[in-house]
Structure 1
Amino acid sequence: MEKNEEEKFEDIIEGRNPVIEALKSGREINKILISKGHVEGSAKKIISMAKDKGIVVQYVDKNKIKGLSTSDNHQGVIAYISPYKYKELLELLDELEIKNEDPFFVICDEVNDPHNLGSIIRTANAAGANGVIIPKRRSAMITSIVAKTSAGAIEYVPVCKVTNLSRTIDLLKEKGVWLIGADMDGREEYFKSNLTGKIAIVVGNEGKGISRLVKEKCDFVVSIPMFGEVSSLNASVAASLLMYEVVRQKSSKK
Protein backbone atom coordinates (compact mmCIF):
# COMPACT_ATOMS: atom_id res chain seq x y z
CA MET A 1 0.00 0.00 0.00
CA GLU A 2 1.34 3.42 -0.91
CA LYS A 3 2.07 6.14 1.62
CA ASN A 4 -0.88 8.35 0.69
CA GLU A 5 -3.30 5.47 1.32
CA GLU A 6 -1.68 4.63 4.66
CA GLU A 7 -2.14 8.21 5.81
CA LYS A 8 -5.90 7.54 5.95
CA PHE A 9 -5.34 5.39 9.03
CA GLU A 10 -5.30 7.52 12.14
CA ASP A 11 -3.59 5.39 14.78
CA ILE A 12 -1.48 2.31 15.37
CA ILE A 13 -0.87 -0.20 18.10
CA GLU A 14 2.33 -2.20 18.21
CA GLY A 15 3.62 -5.32 19.88
CA ARG A 16 2.21 -8.81 19.81
CA ASN A 17 0.21 -8.88 23.05
CA PRO A 18 -1.50 -5.47 22.48
CA VAL A 19 -2.49 -6.56 18.97
CA ILE A 20 -3.80 -9.92 20.23
CA GLU A 21 -5.87 -8.17 22.91
CA ALA A 22 -7.23 -5.74 20.32
CA LEU A 23 -8.27 -8.68 18.16
CA LYS A 24 -9.88 -10.47 21.11
CA SER A 25 -11.78 -7.38 22.26
CA GLY A 26 -13.34 -6.74 18.85
CA ARG A 27 -11.53 -3.42 18.30
CA GLU A 28 -11.91 -2.19 14.73
CA ILE A 29 -8.63 -3.00 12.98
CA ASN A 30 -7.98 -1.82 9.44
CA LYS A 31 -4.92 -3.95 8.71
CA ILE A 32 -1.93 -5.61 10.34
CA LEU A 33 1.70 -5.38 9.28
CA ILE A 34 4.09 -8.21 10.19
CA SER A 35 7.82 -8.16 9.61
CA LYS A 36 8.88 -10.87 7.17
CA GLY A 37 11.43 -12.19 9.67
CA HIS A 38 8.99 -12.46 12.59
CA VAL A 39 6.39 -15.00 11.41
CA GLU A 40 6.66 -17.41 14.34
CA GLY A 41 5.23 -18.06 17.79
CA SER A 42 2.50 -15.60 18.76
CA ALA A 43 2.73 -13.95 15.32
CA LYS A 44 1.12 -17.09 13.90
CA LYS A 45 -1.72 -16.65 16.38
CA ILE A 46 -2.21 -13.06 15.20
CA ILE A 47 -2.28 -14.19 11.56
CA SER A 48 -4.86 -16.88 12.36
CA MET A 49 -7.08 -14.51 14.38
CA ALA A 50 -6.87 -11.84 11.66
CA LYS A 51 -7.81 -14.40 8.99
CA ASP A 52 -10.86 -15.49 11.00
CA LYS A 53 -11.99 -11.86 11.25
CA GLY A 54 -11.26 -11.02 7.63
CA ILE A 55 -8.53 -8.51 8.50
CA VAL A 56 -5.82 -7.86 5.93
CA VAL A 57 -2.31 -8.98 6.95
CA GLN A 58 0.68 -7.63 5.04
CA TYR A 59 4.24 -8.95 5.32
CA VAL A 60 6.70 -6.09 5.07
CA ASP A 61 10.40 -5.39 5.45
CA LYS A 62 11.57 -4.98 9.05
CA ASN A 63 12.78 -1.44 8.31
CA LYS A 64 9.22 -0.41 7.45
CA ILE A 65 8.02 -1.65 10.86
CA LYS A 66 10.91 0.10 12.56
CA GLY A 67 10.10 3.37 10.77
CA LEU A 68 6.47 3.28 11.87
CA SER A 69 7.18 2.29 15.48
CA THR A 70 6.98 4.93 18.21
CA SER A 71 7.67 2.71 21.21
CA ASP A 72 10.70 0.86 19.75
CA ASN A 73 9.18 -2.35 21.14
CA HIS A 74 7.08 -3.47 18.21
CA GLN A 75 8.14 -7.17 18.16
CA GLY A 76 7.70 -7.14 14.40
CA VAL A 77 3.94 -6.41 14.54
CA ILE A 78 1.95 -3.22 13.98
CA ALA A 79 -1.81 -2.84 13.54
CA TYR A 80 -3.61 0.14 12.02
CA ILE A 81 -6.73 0.85 14.03
CA SER A 82 -9.60 3.29 14.16
CA PRO A 83 -9.10 6.20 16.61
CA TYR A 84 -9.52 5.33 20.28
CA LYS A 85 -13.04 6.03 21.53
CA TYR A 86 -13.01 7.67 24.94
CA LYS A 87 -15.86 6.77 27.25
CA GLU A 88 -18.38 9.36 28.43
CA LEU A 89 -18.21 9.55 32.23
CA LEU A 90 -21.95 9.96 32.72
CA GLU A 91 -22.59 6.95 30.51
CA LEU A 92 -20.12 4.90 32.56
CA LEU A 93 -21.73 6.00 35.83
CA ASP A 94 -25.17 5.05 34.51
CA GLU A 95 -23.90 1.61 33.52
CA LEU A 96 -22.45 1.03 37.01
CA GLU A 97 -25.70 2.16 38.62
CA ILE A 98 -27.70 -0.29 36.51
CA LYS A 99 -25.34 -3.09 37.62
CA ASN A 100 -25.60 -1.86 41.24
CA GLU A 101 -21.81 -1.64 41.34
CA ASP A 102 -19.82 0.88 43.41
CA PRO A 103 -17.61 3.06 41.18
CA PHE A 104 -13.87 2.54 41.51
CA PHE A 105 -11.98 5.08 39.41
CA VAL A 106 -8.44 6.34 39.02
CA ILE A 107 -8.09 10.03 38.19
CA CYS A 108 -4.82 11.12 36.56
CA ASP A 109 -4.15 14.79 37.24
CA GLU A 110 -1.76 15.89 34.48
CA VAL A 111 0.08 12.57 34.17
CA ASN A 112 2.21 13.46 31.16
CA ASP A 113 4.33 10.34 30.72
CA PRO A 114 2.58 7.88 28.37
CA HIS A 115 4.45 4.98 29.98
CA ASN A 116 3.04 5.94 33.38
CA LEU A 117 -0.47 6.26 31.95
CA GLY A 118 -0.17 2.89 30.24
CA SER A 119 1.05 1.27 33.47
CA ILE A 120 -1.82 2.82 35.44
CA ILE A 121 -4.34 1.45 32.93
CA ARG A 122 -2.70 -1.99 33.11
CA THR A 123 -2.93 -2.07 36.92
CA ALA A 124 -6.47 -0.64 36.83
CA ASN A 125 -7.51 -3.65 34.76
CA ALA A 126 -5.76 -6.09 37.10
CA ALA A 127 -7.26 -4.45 40.22
CA GLY A 128 -10.78 -4.36 38.80
CA ALA A 129 -11.11 -0.58 38.54
CA ASN A 130 -14.08 0.61 36.52
CA GLY A 131 -12.27 3.33 34.61
CA VAL A 132 -9.48 5.88 34.34
CA ILE A 133 -10.20 9.60 34.06
CA ILE A 134 -7.80 12.03 32.38
CA PRO A 135 -8.05 15.76 31.63
CA LYS A 136 -8.35 16.97 28.06
CA ARG A 137 -5.31 19.25 28.41
CA ARG A 138 -1.84 18.83 29.94
CA SER A 139 -2.07 15.06 29.99
CA ALA A 140 -0.84 12.07 28.03
CA MET A 141 -3.51 10.81 25.63
CA ILE A 142 -4.15 7.29 24.38
CA THR A 143 -1.34 6.58 21.93
CA SER A 144 0.49 3.51 20.65
CA ILE A 145 3.00 3.90 23.50
CA VAL A 146 0.21 3.91 26.09
CA ALA A 147 -1.43 0.91 24.42
CA LYS A 148 1.87 -1.00 24.35
CA THR A 149 2.71 -0.19 27.98
CA SER A 150 -0.78 -1.24 29.08
CA ALA A 151 -0.08 -4.73 27.62
CA GLY A 152 -3.48 -4.68 25.95
CA ALA A 153 -5.44 -3.52 29.02
CA ILE A 154 -6.50 -0.40 27.12
CA GLU A 155 -8.97 -2.62 25.27
CA TYR A 156 -10.82 -3.38 28.50
CA VAL A 157 -10.48 -0.36 30.80
CA PRO A 158 -12.71 2.60 29.86
CA VAL A 159 -10.80 5.90 29.70
CA CYS A 160 -12.82 9.10 30.14
CA LYS A 161 -11.33 12.34 28.80
CA VAL A 162 -12.88 15.31 30.62
CA THR A 163 -12.68 19.03 29.97
CA ASN A 164 -12.42 20.15 33.59
CA LEU A 165 -11.19 17.91 36.42
CA SER A 166 -12.59 20.18 39.15
CA ARG A 167 -16.11 20.01 37.72
CA THR A 168 -15.69 16.26 37.21
CA ILE A 169 -14.79 15.84 40.88
CA ASP A 170 -17.90 17.83 41.84
CA LEU A 171 -20.00 15.51 39.66
CA LEU A 172 -18.48 12.41 41.26
CA LYS A 173 -19.15 13.80 44.74
CA GLU A 174 -22.80 14.35 43.78
CA LYS A 175 -22.88 10.65 42.91
CA GLY A 176 -21.55 9.76 46.36
CA VAL A 177 -17.99 9.00 45.27
CA TRP A 178 -15.20 9.72 47.76
CA LEU A 179 -12.10 11.39 46.32
CA ILE A 180 -8.78 10.24 47.78
CA GLY A 181 -5.65 12.11 46.72
CA ALA A 182 -2.20 10.54 46.88
CA ASP A 183 0.40 13.09 47.97
CA MET A 184 3.59 13.11 50.03
CA ASP A 185 1.99 15.73 52.30
CA GLY A 186 -1.03 13.54 53.09
CA ARG A 187 -2.00 13.50 56.76
CA GLU A 188 -2.67 9.76 56.95
CA GLU A 189 -0.85 6.74 55.56
CA TYR A 190 -2.89 5.16 52.79
CA PHE A 191 -3.27 1.74 54.44
CA LYS A 192 -4.78 3.35 57.55
CA SER A 193 -7.52 5.09 55.54
CA ASN A 194 -10.96 3.76 54.68
CA LEU A 195 -10.87 3.01 50.94
CA THR A 196 -14.12 1.06 50.69
CA GLY A 197 -17.35 2.03 48.97
CA LYS A 198 -17.51 4.44 46.05
CA ILE A 199 -13.90 5.49 45.52
CA ALA A 200 -11.84 7.59 43.11
CA ILE A 201 -8.07 7.65 43.63
CA VAL A 202 -6.32 10.80 42.42
CA VAL A 203 -2.66 10.66 41.35
CA GLY A 204 -0.73 13.66 40.17
CA ASN A 205 1.93 14.84 37.78
CA GLU A 206 5.28 13.04 37.82
CA GLY A 207 7.07 16.14 39.09
CA LYS A 208 4.52 18.49 40.69
CA GLY A 209 2.07 16.00 42.11
CA ILE A 210 -1.64 16.82 42.41
CA SER A 211 -2.53 20.40 41.47
CA ARG A 212 -3.60 22.70 44.31
CA LEU A 213 -7.24 23.07 43.24
CA VAL A 214 -7.73 19.34 42.71
CA LYS A 215 -6.06 18.56 46.05
CA GLU A 216 -8.38 20.99 47.83
CA LYS A 217 -11.39 19.21 46.33
CA CYS A 218 -10.28 15.77 47.52
CA ASP A 219 -12.18 14.45 50.56
CA PHE A 220 -8.87 13.47 52.09
CA VAL A 221 -5.25 13.13 51.05
CA VAL A 222 -3.14 10.10 51.94
CA SER A 223 0.59 9.55 51.92
CA ILE A 224 2.82 6.59 51.11
CA PRO A 225 5.56 6.11 53.74
CA MET A 226 9.07 6.53 52.33
CA PHE A 227 12.09 5.13 54.19
CA GLY A 228 14.89 5.55 51.66
CA GLU A 229 16.78 8.47 50.22
CA VAL A 230 14.37 8.95 47.29
CA SER A 231 11.50 11.19 48.40
CA SER A 232 8.74 10.08 46.03
CA LEU A 233 7.41 7.33 43.79
CA ASN A 234 6.36 7.75 40.20
CA ALA A 235 2.68 8.09 39.41
CA SER A 236 2.09 4.53 38.23
CA VAL A 237 3.71 2.94 41.30
CA ALA A 238 1.79 5.20 43.69
CA ALA A 239 -1.46 4.44 41.86
CA SER A 240 -0.73 0.69 42.00
CA LEU A 241 -0.22 0.72 45.76
CA LEU A 242 -3.49 2.56 46.35
CA MET A 243 -5.47 0.45 43.90
CA TYR A 244 -4.42 -2.75 45.58
CA GLU A 245 -5.15 -1.31 49.00
CA VAL A 246 -8.70 -0.74 47.71
CA VAL A 247 -8.74 -4.39 46.58
CA ARG A 248 -7.43 -5.57 49.97
CA GLN A 249 -9.98 -3.59 51.94
CA LYS A 250 -12.88 -4.66 49.73
CA SER A 251 -11.82 -8.31 50.07
CA SER A 252 -11.62 -8.05 53.85
CA LYS A 253 -15.21 -6.73 53.95
CA LYS A 254 -16.60 -9.81 52.22
Structure 2
Amino acid sequence: MGPWEGPIPADERYDPELLAEGDRRNVMDAYRYWRREAVVADLDTRRHEFHVAVENFQHDHNIGTVVRTANAFAAKAVHIVGRRRWNRRGAMVTDRYQHVLHQPDVAALLAFAADQGLSVVAVDNTAGSVRLEETALPRRCVLVFGHEGAGVSAEAREGADLLVSIAQFGSTRSINAGVAAGIVMHDWISRHADLSNAW
Protein backbone atom coordinates (compact mmCIF):
# COMPACT_ATOMS: atom_id res chain seq x y z
CA MET A 1 0.00 0.00 0.00
CA GLY A 2 1.20 3.50 -0.76
CA PRO A 3 1.74 6.38 1.63
CA TRP A 4 -1.04 7.09 4.12
CA GLU A 5 -3.75 9.36 2.78
CA GLY A 6 -5.52 11.81 5.04
CA PRO A 7 -4.78 12.97 8.59
CA ILE A 8 -1.83 11.16 10.19
CA PRO A 9 -2.98 8.83 13.02
CA ALA A 10 -1.83 9.80 16.50
CA ASP A 11 -1.91 6.16 17.64
CA GLU A 12 1.63 5.16 18.71
CA ARG A 13 1.21 1.76 17.07
CA TYR A 14 1.69 3.40 13.68
CA ASP A 15 5.17 3.74 12.17
CA PRO A 16 5.88 7.29 10.86
CA GLU A 17 8.21 5.94 8.16
CA LEU A 18 5.62 3.46 6.86
CA LEU A 19 2.93 6.14 6.92
CA ALA A 20 5.15 8.41 4.84
CA GLU A 21 6.59 5.87 2.40
CA GLY A 22 3.92 3.15 2.22
CA ASP A 23 3.68 -0.38 3.60
CA ARG A 24 4.70 -3.22 1.30
CA ARG A 25 5.05 -5.88 4.00
CA ASN A 26 3.32 -9.27 3.96
CA VAL A 27 0.90 -8.47 6.79
CA MET A 28 -2.87 -8.52 7.21
CA ASP A 29 -4.61 -5.24 6.39
CA ALA A 30 -5.44 -4.78 10.07
CA TYR A 31 -1.69 -4.38 10.72
CA ARG A 32 -0.90 -2.05 7.82
CA TYR A 33 1.41 0.81 8.80
CA TRP A 34 1.89 -0.59 12.32
CA ARG A 35 5.33 -0.79 13.90
CA ARG A 36 6.72 -4.33 13.98
CA GLU A 37 6.79 -4.29 17.78
CA ALA A 38 3.12 -3.29 17.87
CA VAL A 39 2.18 -6.16 15.56
CA VAL A 40 4.05 -8.65 17.75
CA ALA A 41 2.45 -7.25 20.91
CA ASP A 42 -1.02 -7.59 19.42
CA LEU A 43 -0.31 -11.12 18.20
CA ASP A 44 0.86 -12.00 21.71
CA THR A 45 -2.70 -11.36 22.92
CA ARG A 46 -4.05 -13.79 20.28
CA ARG A 47 -1.53 -16.64 20.23
CA HIS A 48 -2.71 -20.20 20.75
CA GLU A 49 -1.59 -22.73 23.34
CA PHE A 50 0.49 -24.92 21.04
CA HIS A 51 4.18 -24.69 20.25
CA VAL A 52 5.95 -26.11 17.21
CA ALA A 53 9.40 -27.69 17.24
CA VAL A 54 11.52 -28.62 14.23
CA GLU A 55 14.63 -30.74 14.50
CA ASN A 56 17.40 -29.04 12.53
CA PHE A 57 20.15 -31.63 12.54
CA GLN A 58 20.61 -31.65 8.75
CA HIS A 59 19.88 -28.00 7.90
CA ASP A 60 16.34 -28.69 6.70
CA HIS A 61 15.07 -26.23 4.09
CA ASN A 62 11.46 -26.78 5.25
CA ILE A 63 11.92 -24.82 8.47
CA GLY A 64 11.04 -21.49 6.89
CA THR A 65 7.77 -22.93 5.64
CA VAL A 66 6.98 -24.29 9.10
CA VAL A 67 7.66 -20.87 10.67
CA ARG A 68 5.39 -19.14 8.14
CA THR A 69 2.58 -21.63 8.80
CA ALA A 70 3.03 -21.35 12.57
CA ASN A 71 2.66 -17.59 12.20
CA ALA A 72 -0.53 -18.03 10.13
CA PHE A 73 -2.04 -20.19 12.89
CA ALA A 74 -0.69 -17.98 15.72
CA ALA A 75 1.43 -20.63 17.42
CA LYS A 76 2.83 -19.61 20.79
CA ALA A 77 6.40 -20.18 19.56
CA VAL A 78 8.54 -22.17 17.14
CA HIS A 79 11.54 -24.02 18.54
CA ILE A 80 14.53 -24.79 16.32
CA VAL A 81 16.17 -27.89 17.83
CA GLY A 82 19.82 -28.53 17.01
CA ARG A 83 21.62 -26.14 14.68
CA ARG A 84 20.84 -22.52 15.47
CA ARG A 85 21.11 -21.36 11.86
CA TRP A 86 18.24 -22.16 9.51
CA ASN A 87 17.13 -21.17 6.02
CA ARG A 88 14.77 -18.21 6.48
CA ARG A 89 13.76 -17.87 2.83
CA GLY A 90 10.57 -19.93 3.17
CA ALA A 91 9.47 -17.89 6.20
CA MET A 92 8.73 -14.90 3.94
CA VAL A 93 9.81 -12.54 6.77
CA THR A 94 7.14 -13.92 9.14
CA ASP A 95 9.91 -14.76 11.62
CA ARG A 96 9.88 -11.05 12.51
CA TYR A 97 6.44 -11.52 14.02
CA GLN A 98 6.66 -15.11 15.26
CA HIS A 99 8.57 -16.02 18.42
CA VAL A 100 11.39 -18.34 17.29
CA LEU A 101 13.42 -19.97 20.06
CA HIS A 102 16.50 -22.17 19.92
CA GLN A 103 16.89 -25.45 21.80
CA PRO A 104 20.38 -26.98 21.54
CA ASP A 105 19.08 -30.54 21.59
CA VAL A 106 16.01 -32.71 22.16
CA ALA A 107 16.73 -32.99 25.88
CA ALA A 108 16.49 -29.21 26.20
CA LEU A 109 13.19 -29.18 24.31
CA LEU A 110 11.75 -31.91 26.52
CA ALA A 111 12.89 -30.04 29.62
CA PHE A 112 11.20 -26.87 28.33
CA ALA A 113 7.98 -28.76 27.68
CA ALA A 114 8.02 -30.30 31.17
CA ASP A 115 8.67 -26.92 32.78
CA GLN A 116 5.79 -25.32 30.87
CA GLY A 117 3.38 -28.23 31.40
CA LEU A 118 3.17 -29.01 27.68
CA SER A 119 2.41 -32.43 26.23
CA VAL A 120 4.95 -33.49 23.62
CA VAL A 121 3.40 -34.70 20.36
CA ALA A 122 5.84 -36.21 17.86
CA VAL A 123 4.65 -36.45 14.26
CA ASP A 124 6.03 -39.39 12.29
CA ASN A 125 4.62 -42.29 10.28
CA THR A 126 6.49 -44.97 12.19
CA ALA A 127 5.46 -48.05 14.15
CA GLY A 128 3.56 -47.22 17.31
CA SER A 129 1.99 -44.04 15.98
CA VAL A 130 -1.75 -43.38 16.13
CA ARG A 131 -3.59 -41.71 13.32
CA LEU A 132 -4.05 -37.98 13.72
CA GLU A 133 -7.54 -38.40 12.30
CA GLU A 134 -8.47 -40.80 15.11
CA THR A 135 -7.04 -38.99 18.12
CA ALA A 136 -7.42 -35.61 19.81
CA LEU A 137 -4.40 -33.35 20.08
CA PRO A 138 -3.90 -31.90 23.56
CA ARG A 139 -4.71 -28.19 23.93
CA ARG A 140 -1.38 -27.35 25.60
CA CYS A 141 1.30 -29.08 23.59
CA VAL A 142 4.43 -28.86 21.50
CA LEU A 143 4.19 -30.45 18.06
CA VAL A 144 7.53 -31.97 17.07
CA PHE A 145 8.58 -32.48 13.44
CA GLY A 146 11.72 -34.15 12.20
CA HIS A 147 13.99 -33.75 9.22
CA GLU A 148 12.52 -34.28 5.76
CA GLY A 149 14.28 -37.60 5.14
CA ALA A 150 15.02 -39.07 8.55
CA GLY A 151 11.84 -38.05 10.32
CA VAL A 152 11.63 -37.44 14.06
CA SER A 153 14.70 -38.55 15.99
CA ALA A 154 14.55 -41.62 18.23
CA GLU A 155 15.13 -39.41 21.28
CA ALA A 156 12.14 -37.21 20.41
CA ARG A 157 9.91 -40.23 19.75
CA GLU A 158 10.90 -41.83 23.05
CA GLY A 159 10.35 -38.59 24.96
CA ALA A 160 6.95 -37.88 23.41
CA ASP A 161 3.66 -38.28 25.25
CA LEU A 162 1.92 -38.98 21.96
CA LEU A 163 3.15 -40.16 18.53
CA VAL A 164 0.83 -39.38 15.63
CA SER A 165 0.87 -40.04 11.90
CA ILE A 166 -1.12 -38.58 9.02
CA ALA A 167 -3.27 -41.01 7.01
CA GLN A 168 -1.95 -41.42 3.45
CA PHE A 169 -3.48 -43.16 0.47
CA GLY A 170 -0.98 -42.82 -2.39
CA SER A 171 2.35 -44.34 -3.33
CA THR A 172 4.73 -41.96 -1.57
CA ARG A 173 6.32 -43.10 1.69
CA SER A 174 5.98 -39.76 3.44
CA ILE A 175 4.55 -36.26 3.20
CA ASN A 176 6.81 -33.22 2.87
CA ALA A 177 7.73 -32.02 6.38
CA GLY A 178 6.45 -28.49 5.77
CA VAL A 179 3.12 -29.81 4.49
CA ALA A 180 2.81 -32.27 7.38
CA ALA A 181 3.35 -29.44 9.86
CA GLY A 182 0.58 -27.44 8.25
CA ILE A 183 -1.83 -30.38 8.38
CA VAL A 184 -1.19 -31.03 12.07
CA MET A 185 -1.36 -27.37 13.06
CA HIS A 186 -4.66 -27.03 11.24
CA ASP A 187 -5.97 -30.10 13.05
CA TRP A 188 -5.15 -28.35 16.34
CA ILE A 189 -6.95 -25.22 15.12
CA SER A 190 -10.00 -27.23 14.07
CA ARG A 191 -10.26 -28.77 17.55
CA HIS A 192 -9.29 -25.94 19.86
CA ALA A 193 -9.31 -22.48 18.24
CA ASP A 194 -12.03 -19.87 18.63
CA LEU A 195 -12.81 -19.26 14.95
CA SER A 196 -14.49 -15.94 15.76
CA ASN A 197 -10.96 -14.59 16.22
CA ALA A 198 -9.83 -15.61 12.70
CA TRP A 199 -9.23 -13.03 10.00
TM-score past 0.5 threshold = yes
CA gap 1:203/1:133 in 2 versus in 1, 3 angstroms: same
Give secondary structure in 1 for the equivalent of 2:101: strand
Aligned to 1:85: none
Contact kept? 1:122, 1:154, Cα under 8 Å: yes
- Displacement of 1:135 in angstroms is 2.1
For the pair 1:105 / 2:51, whether they are aligned, the reply is: yes
Structure 2 residue aligned with 1:135? 81
SS in 2 for 1:125: helix
Which of 203, 219, 223 is residue 165 of structure 2 equivalent to? 223
Greater Rg over alpha carbons, structure: 1
* Residues 78 and 99 in structure 2, CA contact (< 8 A), matched pair in contact too: yes
- Asked whether the 8 Å contact 2:57–2:82 carries over to 1, the reply is no
The equivalent residue for 1:120 is 66
Aligned match of 1:189: 131
Say which SS state the counterpart of residue 158 (structure 2) adopts: helix
Partner of 2:97: 156
1:214 to partner: Cα distance: 1.2
Quote the residue 2:190 is aligned against: 248
User: Could you tell me whether the CA contact under 8 Å between 1:111 and 1:235 is conserved in 2?
Assistant: no
1:47 CA drift (Å): 9.3
Identical positions, percent: 25
Report the CA distance shift for 1:25/1:114 in structure 2 as closer, same or farther (over 3 A). Answer: farther
SS at match of 2:193: helix
* Correspondence for 1:48 among 18, 21, 30: 21
CA distance in 1, matches of 2:86, 2:142: 20
1:165 alignment partner AA: V
Q: In the TM superposition, what is the alpha-carbon distance from 1:206 to its structure 2 partner? A: 0.8
TM-score, normalised by the number of residues in structure 2: 0.69
Matched, 1:233 2:175: yes
Whole-Å Cα distance in 2 between the matches of residues 100 and 151 of structure 1? 21
Pick closer, same or farther for the CA change 1:215–1:25 going to 2, 3 Å: farther
Which consecutive unaligned segments of at least 5 residues does structure 1 have?
Answer: 1-23, 27-44, 51-95
Q: Describe the shift of the 1:149–1:171 C-alpha distance in structure 2 as closer, same or farther (beyond 3 A).
A: closer
AA matched with 1:130:
K
Q: Judge conservation of contact 1:196–1:249 (CA < 8 Å) in 2.
A: no
**Shift in Å at residue 46 of structure 1?**
11
Look up the equivalent residue of 1:202 and give its one-letter code: V
> Any stretches of 5+ residues in structure 2 without a counterpart?
1-12, 24-43
Q: Distance in 2 between matches of 1:121 and 1:102?
A: 14
Tell me which residue corresponds to 1:171: 112
Residue correspondences, number: 160
- The residue identity in structure 2 corresponding to 1:153 is T
1:188 Cα offset (Å): 1.2
Question: Any idea what SS the aligned residue of 1:244 has?
Answer: helix
Answer 1 or 2: which has greater helix percent. Answer: 1
